A and B are shown apart, each in its own frame.
Chain A
Amino acid sequence: MSPSPLLELENLRVSFPTPKGRIEVVKGLSFTLGRERLGIVGESGSGKSMTGRALLRLVRTPGAQVADRMVFDGIDLQRLSERKMRELRGARISMIMQDPKFSLNPVMTIGAQIAEALKTHEKLARRDIRARVLEMLEAVRINDPERVMELYPHEVSGGMGQRVMIAMMLIPRPDLLIADEPTSALDVSVQAQVLDLIDELVRDKGMGLILISHDLNLVARYCDRILVMHAGEVVESCAAADLQNATHPYTRGLLAAVPRMEETRAELPTLDRSAWSGT
């Protein structure tokens, strides 16, 4: 018998009330995840972030989520008490949110916030905590970690905020990392270094990864499998290596819209927005 998967999701639905009644923004999503790297790509508003939030039971009211099955490492997430769920978040499943600065505490220094994340997971002496925080900031390629530790979130640049968020989510060594556009503010060289770090944790520590991104090349490079979402549904699912040969017209449209290094087109091709959906 093969070992049970890290995560099983069946028929996830997320809905919001609107003036026209309840509308689903995630419409019956299912997948299983082993200790592997799953990429989710898709149009803006297609439900990628909501899927990530739902896995942590973080869909804000008046939104509602239901699933036939949502099991993480044998734990039925839907039946867990709110207190147990809180313990799980951050420690065993963590999520790098799409808006890093919004997710950071504005009145706490960067260093204190990362230390906090570490303390919920491990009991360490103060000096050791500081050393671990510095080490983590270096690992995400922050140049002068000593200075950055003392800064408040509004004092760091966009890309630094993103890396602080990544450091905070990785430091407790989660079993499953959900990364929502984790490197969208980073230049390619830093981006590659940060993703290599995440990759290392997947390989060496057996962490599972759900990587949400609009960057098709990046997802193809760092994932094993890819789901393409559109209007709350998966329209295509393929091995990362086969993305370039994707057949669904929507996926092909996405691939065509990527600008090239030697761009000669006066206009980029766009998708037919009359099919635009969501709530």
Chain B
Amino acid sequence: MSAISLKNLDISYGTTKVVEGANIEVAAGESFALVGESGSGKSTILKAIAGLAPDWTGEITVLGEKRGHRVDHAFATRCQMVFQDPYGSLHPRKTVDAVLSEPLRIHGLPNRDARVLEMLAAVGLDQRFRFRYPHQLSGGQRQRVAIARALMLEPKVMLLDEPTSALDVSVQAEILNLLKKLRREQGLTYLMVTHNLPVVSFMCDRMAVMNKGRIVEIAPASALHDGSFTDPYTQSLYAASGGNPDRKDQ
């Protein structure tokens, strides 16, 4: 069974159609990347799945259940999204502790204190950050809070929008290792937007490439090893990323 299935998905904002005819099947336990041009509709696809971009036609199915056009709280325990812009997605007057324990409280889950501490450690944040407000954190620290919040409910499906683009490489490595471990141990499914092709190579099985609102190619992540892409846009993206410097003969 597919964990996420998008069929003939069109998404609009007002009169502007920004995604056209998207078809994606992400298998349960798969890690699937969405890459492509800035403004091509990647975040919009994740938002539609999460119920935050209501103006769509086609079919969205997550874990066997057809999605409606709005936010659904029961859905949140199974599927969580990490937003591209951590500042905007964290409430300015809530401490890290409030942000992390809130989902547990809403869903009546126990052991809040222990879970908060455990999750802070998992994303590499010291305890002294626990009672800080977002503006008292650096960019990368805020992003880790956003990731921790999404993990609190132990969702089965994670929609990750540029989860590590604000992080330095050492913290990025920790977060990617953590996401990989969670996927291995708990069979999570990831749909992850990133512009970093080496991150796709490390984290993902397959990738869809978007350009101007359309998916132009779906390829295995291993195509990054030798650049065996068929679409011209994908080829140019790969070339601009410097190709694979470890294969000098290419």
Contacts and interface: CB of A to CB of B under 8 A. Distances in A.
B245 A261 contact: yes
Contacts of B5: none
A49 B139 contact: yes
Interface in A142-192: 143, 155-161, 163, 181, 184-192
Interface of B: 13, 35-39, 42-43, 84-85, 87-88, 124, 126, 128, 135-136, 138-141, 144, 161-162, 165-174, 176-177, 180, 195-199, 201-202, 224-225, 236-237, 240-247
Interface size band for A: 35 or more
A268 B87 CA distance: 27
Interface in A257-279: 257-263, 265-271, 273, 276, 278-279
A101 B169 contact: no
Q: Considering the complex of A and B, which 7 residue pairs feature the smallest CB-CB distances, nearest first?
A: A44-B140, A159-B38, A214-B168, A189-B240, A268-B173, A259-B198, A187-B195
Contacts of B37: 187, 190
Contacts of B243: 261
Contact of A181 (B35, B135, B166, B174): B166
Given A187-B237, A267-B177, A99 B85 contact: yes
B170 A253 contact: yes
26 contacts: A44-B141, A44-B168, A49-B138, A98-B166, A99-B87, A99-B139, A101-B87, A102-B85, A181-B166, A185-B165, A185-B195, A187-B37, A187-B237, A187-B240, A188-B197, A189-B240, A215-B169, A257-B169, A259-B196, A260-B201, A261-B197, A262-B224, A263-B202, A265-B202, A271-B170, A276-B126
A184 B38 CA distance: 11
B88 A102 contact: yes
Nearest to B169: A257
* Most central of A101, A187, A278 by chain B CB within 10 Å: A187
A156 to B, nearest CB: 8
Given A43-B170, A44-B138, A261 B38 contact: no
Contact of B43 (A158, A263, A266, A268): A158
Nearest to B137: A45
B206 to A, nearest CB: 15
B201 A188 contact: no
A181 B168 CA distance: 10
Interface of A: 16, 18, 41-45, 49, 60, 98-99, 101-102, 143, 155-161, 163, 181, 184-192, 214-216, 253-254, 257-263, 265-271, 273, 276, 278-279
B96 to A, nearest CB: 14
Contacts of B237: 187-189
Given A188-B237, A253-B170, A269-B173, A259 B139 contact: no
Contacts of B126: 276
Given A102-B88, A261-B224, A254 B168 contact: yes
A4 to B, nearest CB: 33
A215 B195 CA distance: 13
Given A261-B243, A268-B176, 13 more contacts: A44-B139, A158-B38, A184-B166, A187-B38, A188-B241, A189-B236, A214-B140, A214-B168, A254-B169, A259-B196, A263-B202, A268-B173, A270-B174
A78 B128 CA distance: 31
Contacts of B195: 159, 185-188, 191
Contacts of A98: 139, 166
Contacts of A271: 170
Contacts of A60: 135
A216 B85 contact: no
A158 B84 contact: yes
Nearest to B244: A261
Contacts of B197: 188, 261
Contacts of B224: 261-262
Contacts of B171: 43-44
Nearest to B181: A267
Contacts of A215: 169
A190 B233 CA distance: 13
